[in-house]
Structure 1
């Protein structure tokens, strides 16, 4: 009986040894495949073409904006020089070789230096050109950008196809490892049952923790990819759209017919709203992940609030609403991030304006209470129902969430306000009477 047991145990150990050797060989094969993927990564060429496309867009925008502000000539030449350096680098590294492996025609990229050389002297002396000449250059580069975009899309498609091939190869190796793993698990389980039954539970718990870790990492990657798509696929084309609409609105492309003025104004306003939406989404993600950075410095609140009113005056005018700061304004200094506090004022002022009627007045006031600076924004709009108080500062929440609501918005503005104010060690709240108006207040610690 003892002989049979020893033989059975030896047989299991032998099978376990063979399985371990097989698993080691399979893992070595997988390592070789992973190294080949790393050596043949196509992200460089894809990002290169995308970078050329982005720099083309930046140059287009700079050239278009020059028509509105001739003092930006240095920015035009700077963007042109950056574009030139990007294009010149195709001869370096393996970008061209990889594009050729993809069967992607990159002749356009090789021809771009000639085009840049053709316009080099004109761009360096941009002020000497007529508006028609500058428009011709702008249209030529805009057409070129469309062609570069097509090259980038082809490179991305080829890269995706190559990645899929790598994935299928690794999946095949992984499946083989899974089969070997199952065999090893069966053998090891028998040995565990023979010697240490309690290890079964311990190994199961370890596998469960590993699975949870993989799931958490996958969720984090998916979230980061979503934010990246928002930033690249929405913000980049929106910049070009805003530039084109600004040109038309300013008359840089010719006098705008009366019948076109209102649609252009609507498009321009919607571009601003979409840009604000993208910024709010990105900021909301930074707040939730704790990645938001602040640059604290002394701020003269009366001067800061006056500048904010001046900045938002034109927006209020479009709604027929006036903005003012209520005197007397004390000289109060706080320590804060001017850019982020500007977001707070922008959200509070825009909300007050949007929910006011034409002819109404929005007032900003500043006072000192118990050693703290208290900023108030008061409107005479519709007011906020008491039943909605608890959800006002929640993300993606609006007092009027129906499809027929009069004013747009994402429901992120006040949640961002709350996060910024609390990051400054302050508190935000509001008082409201339905039909009479609303006052939002936030406080900040004074510099002693």
Structure 2
């Protein structure tokens, strides 16, 4: 649950970012992965090079240690061979070793300066080695003297003394070997540690490279996915913008048509009011001249007729302005506080009762086919009756004498249905899509002097939609129409 909330929060945060910042972040993901991989590779490469250097350094110490030990052994063997045989060729290894050993010790001192333990051990080796070299020198010198006086039998060295002489310095040589072996053993351990360290870094290098490759792939996939989402969002925004532009164009066209129709509808009664007022003024002037004439009563009747027309036209203008104000006032919807429960059964019965005089005047037959029980809906008490009354008035207006107007009320799928059916002139199929537009009037017979302003159905549709309902129309030309209002039950 927590991870789901975090995911929703991230998605919400991501979509709130400006597109430019999102694009920058998308590009930064693979670039960051690439730089991270290159940085890790460079660091590991440097570590491997450093480890390789230290491994080679340890190898050099081992080789130099082996060289020192071999030189020391060669010196010992040369001195012994010379002591037993007095042959000068045995001194060649000794003399070579005498040159190699100081050089080897010097190199080892330089190589182990970073290791205090090995440095101390090397000092001991150096001390013991110098002792051995001194002993070797004494032996070689003594043998040379013996060789020079070899002809004197009284100076011959007994076998026992010769053995003791050969064994002299063995302890020092063994100590030197032991120290050198310890030194070499330490270097072996150090070499193993450094090789293990090197192998570890190699494994880490491969692991990090694999992880970097995986992260790079994931970063690439994520970037492509986010780019796709961003492209899709931009495409949707473009479509929404195009749709908004089209809607704005439609609204502008409707506004232009509305302005033109409103101007036309207001201009006509205003012209009539002005004309009748002017004629009335002229008639009053004539009355002043005919104050005692026999046709005074006829002139008064004419003035009265003109004034009645002015009143009627003014009422029509007031009604038109009221309808326009209604449409403008309720564009934003209704507040929930204004809704209350309404009994549709009683409301429809009351509207039918009010319609009886007009129906009789037009020689129309009214019928009611609906439920008797109360049908309750939530609505605005002053608006909902107006929507149904507009349908009833239109049915009376467009149904010829002898026709039938049938009103039905029933419930279906949690909806209250009010249907108004007439046997009037019907609506052409091409006109049905426009009948709810403002100032649009049906003119099937070419009569441009139809009563009304063409706002009744627009007001009815707006009222129904404000109540969460829908209005439908079914019509056949010259056979009649059926308007059906569906409202949610309370």
Range class of TM-score, shorter chain: 0.3 to 0.5
State the structure with more CA Rg. Answer: 2
Using structure 1 for the length normalisation, give the TM-score.
0.39
